[in-house]
Structure 1
Amino acid sequence: MSEQSSKVINTPLTPNEKLLEKLIGSFSDQTFNELDNDLLDDEEENWEISFDEVDDHISEFQEDEFVREAFDKGMDLREYARNIEKELSIIEKDHEVDYVKQAKEFVELHNQIQTCDQILETMENMLSVFQKDLGNISTEIQTLQDKSFSMNIKLKNRTAVEKKLDNVLEGIVIPPLMIKKITEDEVDESWLAYLTELNKKMTYVKYNQNKNLKAIKDVGPELEKLRLKATEKIRDFLLNKIRSLRIPNTNVQILQQSVLLKYKELYQFVMDRYNDVAFEIMHTYINTMKWYFFNHFERYNRTLQKLQNPIGDKSSMIGYDENLRKGGIFGSGKIALQDKTNMFVLGDRIDTLRTQDAGVILVHVAENKNQKYSSEALFRSFNLTLIDNASSEYLFIIEFFSKDDKPNVEGAKDIFSEIFDTTIKMGLNSTKQYVANTFDAIGTLLCIRLNTQFALELQRRRVPALEGYTNQTNMLLWPRFQAIMDMHIESVRKAANKMTVKDVHPHFMSRRFAEFIASISTLNEDYNDPILNNSLSRLRNELELFLEKMSKSFEDDNKSSLIFLINNYDLIITILSETGGKSVEANINHFKELLNVKISEFVEEELNPYFGSLITIVKMFELEKDGSTIDPEFFDKVSADFASTWRQSLTSINTSVIQHFSNFKNGTTILHAVLGQLIIYYTRFCNALEEKMKDGTVRIGHQPVGVQSVMVEIKKFRSNF
């Protein structure tokens, strides 16, 4: 403990300890004596120990680490306590010296604290004054805020009053310039602006006439005078523009878009302000456009009819024989069919249906070039022109005659109907006249498909006004088309009772039928109309009956009959195959089945004259299973005859096929079928002969021809086509 005390005494004094030393130095000895007495009193109080608590303290001290260590070493605690007390006394004296040394610093600190207290007192006085000033300023700010809020309310009230007053002044005050412009100037864009302003003032006065405002009552008569004057000018202006549509070569659509729609607010004004004038303007427009469209379309239709290229007549049916003379046996010549081929062949006529941007026929150009057109081309040109003009007119009517920019569809339909009523009737009469005189089924069906396209185009344009026209046109075209189909079917039926054939070449009716059915099927590909399909089936059945009946014209020559049917079926399949498309697949498959049946029959007929005995013995052997009833010499004779004649027979068969079937593909198929069937028959004969030779019932005196040799020879003939 002495070492620790010396370390403490030798420790340099800190600034605070020096200040404390100075402070203690300023104390008097009396003061220190008083302090010592107080300390002694405190010590006496602190060292008074109750022996009742000694046991408790002993137990508590035993838990202390140092006490427990002292007990373990056997030390005397009283001695240990006295040592500690001495050390504490030395340390206390050392600290007292330190405190005395720093007494002056404590005095200086005390003086500094007093100075700070004085400064803080001064600042407190200043802040008190400042706080009072801030309170006065806050009161003034609150006063200003109250005044600002009051002024703001007054400003809002005055602004609201001013706005209402402006509305009233704007609604009832009529500037002199407006009066001068409306009454004296011509109608133009600037005049329209003043009319719009006038309309606003009239609307304002109308909605505020029940208010007790003297200004409104005063301005009413003046506005009425301006209304009458404006209506008069509008009436004259619009009627003059509408009458100008009657001038020749006037472009109606340009005048509608650049003038009437530009000034449609004029008509809106009279609709709202003078309904009688609006009614007069509307009916003047209806009558003018009614005359305009009827006059132009009637002249256009009349000119188109002069450009028509007639296709066929009532005798231009599938079953009509162009070799017959007109008027029976007393006729003087053949009937000259006009464009006969196009009666049955679609060809480039379908371009009328597929070409979307072909435009319309310009009559003056066509007349100069002396061009002629088919009926469907004329039908397309007339109706395309009609729906283009009708669509433009309908959209104009909806926009111009609507009220408050709200389309009135029903009203527009009524106006449109009045305008186009006579033109539509003229168009329907023209179509009716066409269907009454036409016998062109392809042209009529093309018109039907065109009419369907027109109906879809009108739906796309959202022009329902012509829906009735397209429906009525359909009702005219379909019955006539069915009637023409019935005529074709009837002509085939009648031809079966009048005609006969003398050669095996394809009949002209087969070509007509194939071309015709291919054309109609192509036009029905995207529609698959069941009624039309039924008509085609009826026509096909009649043609089959006709060909079967014509094949019997060869009497007992079954081979020629088969060749005739095969050539006709092959021609039909060839023409249908050239057409292509799914629409003809069913008919192609049907005639292929018929063709295959007839080819099978022809194979037997072709082989029988040359290899009849061989075929007979094969069938007899297979029928009896063992051929026990067949004369053994018959096997020898058949084998010998085959060996001596088979090469010559193959040549004859090849010549016959070449002669009767000029179609390369068909002839090749038939020749392969004949020669293939021959191989089958001869193979079966060789098997039967071998079996009979094994059981010893048949003996032949020559070497049979091998099947392989026959096949090698046949390969030479297969390349002849």
Structure 2
Amino acid sequence: MEADTTIEPAELNIQEILPPLFSDFEDAPLPDQNELLDAINQEDYSFEEDDEDEAILAIFESREQEYHELHDQIEASTELLTNLSSFLTSFQTDLQAVSGQLKDLRSRSQAIERRGKGRRSIEKPLKSLIESITFPPSLVTLILDTPVSEAWYPAAHTLSTILSEIHLRKTRVQAASSLLTTAETLRVTAVGKIKTYLLKILNPISASVSTNLPTLQTGVLLKNKPLWEFLEREAPAIAAEIKRSYVWRTRGYYETSFRRYCRVIQTLKTRCPDTSEPIGSLTSSSSLPTTHLNTSTSAVKPNGGNEQTDRELEGSLLANSRIEGEGVLLAWQADEKDLKLPLEALFRSIMVVLLDNACAEYTFLTRFFSRLSLYSTRPDTLATQDRLLNIQSEHATESGSGGAGRSVRKNSIISSVGAGGGLADGWKGSKEPEKEDKEDKERLQKMWHEIFDPALNYVQQLLTTLLTPLPPSLPSLLSMIRLNDSIFQALLDRGCIPLEPFVIRQRLALWPVFQKHMGTNVESLRKLAETAGLGASFLGLGATKVKDSKVESVAVQYVTLFNALLSLSTPADEAMIIGSMTRLRQELARLITSQAGKIKESGPREIFTFTIYDGLVQALRTSFGTGKAVTEEISFWEKARLGK
């Protein structure tokens, strides 16, 4: 064993190891060499050399035992050192083995720690997986043992989520596949209960037209949308059945309501005075009904400007050309035998009722049946939609029942949702939100048409009867056109796309009637002027002569017509209306000139023409004040008054 051998990793203390090895020799110490020499030197060697050898030998022999013991001790020490070296060598080997085992244990410990971390890392996903495919006992109890209620709203969503997870993992997770039977049982039970519950909610729609449909939609059906979404995901066939049931019931509801309401308006139409006679008819009244438009105040301005309040113009052409203002006709009011309304008021009633119901229905369809849920919109948008749906459509629904009285529309639906407000912020015209799926939009519009097309047929028939056999007066027609334009703008603001084509068709139908009726008035006035220019000898027996009072009446009708049309015109069509009135003005001037030509004396003739021209100028100034069209009109008659 080498002297510099180092034993690692344990540190050995030789001083602690050796004493036990020599413990047997502590009682027999080795003789000191110096003492031995001193003892030899002190011997008396008086004998000769041989004797000295013998003496030395004797000394050694006398101590032979000691030397043997010393030799034995040395051999024992050598043996002990050899054993110690062997022990230390084996101890070093054992230490190296222990060191290797410690390293192996350290490696195993690190591997175990890594496995522990791996298991801890999958603990949360595993827990999430277990929770996602297991049914909470409370959910199972709710589905199996309780009727459908508001507690089902979150439960339906939870059940749908769990069912989706199970079907998603059934091919990879054995636990998920083992739950398929339980999942199907819960799904079938939930679908059956929800179907019965929703059909029960829809029953009042087909039971009576007195049902307040907007209240049912907003107060009941919209709250149950989570149940409908559950059916849409888990039972599409049942969802389609519920949808067909809703369409069928609401279709009958609107068809019956609008049929009754149109019948009421047709009854009132028969009571309306016939104001469609041309201005030049000899049998026409002395003037146009002045109740249509107040022409005696300077508050009325060109281009439809108006400084009077709506209350002061109730029942006027201007009031009936707007959505805002007085309430529409209620069905029970037709029982009042003395009630008479102008045609433009009847037109406004049916169009506003159609607007309110159509927009409310389309808003509900968009919120309830859309696959792109509108609940993700901002709260202010949802509040706007709620206001739209809460519109009381009593005009149609009360067609078969009584009411408290005629309501007053102080603010229209447009003003109630704000300027430009609609189903969603940012809608402009018919532009749909970018996120809305085109296919979903087309599907909703198709549903709306399935519901409203029968009602639209009744409305179309009614509008046709309002224009036939004789069209309304020109101011009434223009008032209808203005209201129709307001209806169309309201549809754009509210985003009710399906009704837009119907309103456009009404505009395309009204303008030709207006232009044709204007041509009829011009032609009648031309014939009247020709008749006035003929002498009595040229008129047949029994022919009606044109009297001065008739000319004055025509002049009054002209001013009333001019004021009415100009107040209802817009910058877009003012030029066309002024052009038609210019033709009418020329024929009126011819009539006045022809009638004045019958007066032989110049004095009375000049008085006659001056009186009519001055009356026209004063009426125009009093009615409108200033304005380009009015200024030109006044200038024309002033020149005629001065004989220029």
- TM-score, normalising length: structure 1: 0.56
Query: Residue 563 of structure 2 is aligned with which of 518, 529, 539?
Result: 518
Alpha-carbon distance in structure 1 between the residues aligned to 2:463 and 2:547: 44
Residue 599 (str. 1) matches residue 626 (str. 2): no
List gaps (5 residues or longer) in structure 1.
Answer: 1-145, 323-334, 602-721
* In 1: Cα distance, 2:483 partner to 2:505 partner: 14
Structure-2 separation of matches of 1:528 and 1:490: 22
Cα displacement (A) at 1:341: 4.6
The structural deviation recorded for 1:254 is: 1.2
Q: Flag the 1:242–1:580 CA change in 2: closer, same or farther, 3 A.
A: same
**What SS does the corresponding residue of 1:311 show, helix, strand or coil?**
coil
Q: 284, 291, 302: which one pairs with 2:263?
A: 302
SS in 2 for 1:361: coil
Opposite residue 312 of structure 1, the aligned amino acid is: D
- Matched with 2:245 is 284
- The letter of the residue matching 1:592 is S
Structure 1 residues 284-293 or 171-180, which shifts more?
A: 171-180
Displacement, 1:514? 1.3
Q: Which is helix-richer, 1 or 2?
A: 1
The separation in 1 between residues aligned to 2:287 and 2:586, in whole angstroms, is 28
Query: In the alignment, which residue of structure 2 is the partner of 1:534?
Result: 579
The amino acid that maps onto 1:390 is A
Partner SS for 1:266: helix
1:568 is aligned with what amino acid? I
Deviation of 1:200 after TM superposition, in Å, equals: 0.8
Q: Which residue of 2 aligns with 1:214?
A: 174
Contact 2:614 2:641 in 1 (8 A): no
| Structure 2 SS opposite 1:448 | helix
Change (3 A) 1:594 1:341: closer
Residues 558 and 591 of structure 1: is their aligned pair in 2 closer, same or farther, counting only changes over 3 Å? Answer: farther
Per the alignment, do residues 164 and 345 of structure 1 end up closer, same or farther by CA in structure 2, a change over 3 Å counting? same
2:551/2:592 contact within 8 Å kept? no
Question: For residues 447 and 504 of structure 1, do their structure 2 counterparts lie closer, same or farther at Cα, with a shift above 3 Å needed?
Answer: closer
**Residue number in structure 2 paired with 1:433:** 465
Question: For the structure 1 residues 299 and 355, does the alpha-carbon distance in structure 2 shift closer, same or farther, using more than 3 Å as the test?
Answer: closer
Match of 1:272 among 233, 242, 246: 233
Partner of 1:444 in structure 2?
477
- Partner of 1:167 in structure 2? 128
Q: Deviations over 1:415-456 (max 9, x none)?
A: 111111111121111111111233321111111100101111
Counterpart CA distance in 2 for 1:482 and 1:274 is 57
Contact 2:624 2:630 in 1 (8 A): no
Question: How big is each residue's C-alpha offset from its partner over 1:372-416, in whole Å with a ceiling of 9 and x where there is no partner?
Answer: 221111211221111111111101101111125165322211111
The partner residue of 2:326 within 338, 358, 366 is 358
8 A Cα contact 1:504 1:567, kept in partner? no
> How many Å apart are 1:343 and its aligned residue?
7.6
C-alpha displacement of 1:363 = 2.9
Q: Which amino acid aligns with 2:566?
A: S
Deviations 1:254-292 (A, max 9, x none): 111122111112221222222211111111111111110
* Cross-structure match for 1:410: 442
Matching residue within 455, 459, 471 for 1:423: 455
CA spacing shift, 1:505–1:181, aligned 2, 3 Å: closer
**Correspondence for 1:580 among 619, 624, 627:** 624
Whether contact under 8 Å (1:506, 1:567) holds in the other structure is no
Residue 489 (str. 1) matches residue 522 (str. 2): yes
Structure with larger RCO (C-alpha < 8 A, sep 6+): 2
| Pairwise CA RMSD | 3.1
Over 3 Å counting, the alpha-carbon distance change for 1:352 and 1:170 in structure 2 is: same
SS of the residue corresponding to residue 262 of structure 1 reads helix
Aligned to 1:232: 192
Note if contact 1:182-1:229 (Cα within 8 Å) is conserved in structure 2: yes
Letter aligned with residue 464 of structure 2: K
Letter aligned with residue 371 of structure 1: L
State the Cα deviation string for residues 548-576 of structure 1 (Å, max 9, x = none).
22222124x34443333222221212222
**Cα distance change, pair 253–171 in 1 and its aligned pair in 2 (3 A):** same
Distance 1:547 1:338 in 2: 16
Q: Which residue of 1 aligns with 2:273?
A: 311
Structure 1 350/357 Cα, relative in aligned 2: closer, same or farther at 3 Å?
A: closer
Which residue does the alignment assign to 2:493?
A: 460
Indicate if the aligned counterparts of 1:311 and 1:340 stay in contact, CA closer than 8 A. Answer: no
Q: CA deviation at 1:307?
A: 3.2
Rounded to whole Å, the distance in 1 between the matches of 2:109 and 2:626 is 90
In the TM superposition, residue 147 of structure 1 has moved relative to its aligned partner by: 14
Provide the rounded CA distance (Å) in 1 between the counterparts of 2:121 and 2:143. 33
Residue of structure 2 in register with 1:182 after alignment: 143
* Corresponding letter in the other structure for 2:232: M
Runs of 4+ in 1 over 4 A off after TM superposition: 146-156, 335-347, 500-506
Could you list the per-position Cα deviations for residues 517-571 of structure 1 after superposition, in whole angstroms to 9, with x for gaps in the alignment?
111111114543443332222211221222222222124x344433332222212
Structure 2 residue 238 is matched with structure 1 residue 195: no
Contact 1:554 1:561 in 2 (8 A): yes
Q: Is the 8 A contact 2:287 2:554 kept in 1?
A: no
Tell me how many residue pairs correspond in the alignment: 440
Q: Deviations over 1:122-158 (max 9, x none)?
A: xxxxxxxxxxxxxxxxxxxxxxxx9999999777544
Query: Does the 8 A contact of 1:387 with 1:454 survive in 2?
Result: yes
Change (3 A) 1:369 1:339: farther
Give 1:252 shift: 0.9
After TM superposition, give the deviation of residue 504 of structure 1 in Å.
9.7
Find the counterpart in structure 2 of residue 509 from structure 1. Answer: 554
- State TM-score, norm by structure 2: 0.63
Q: Which residue of 2 aligns with 1:143?
A: none
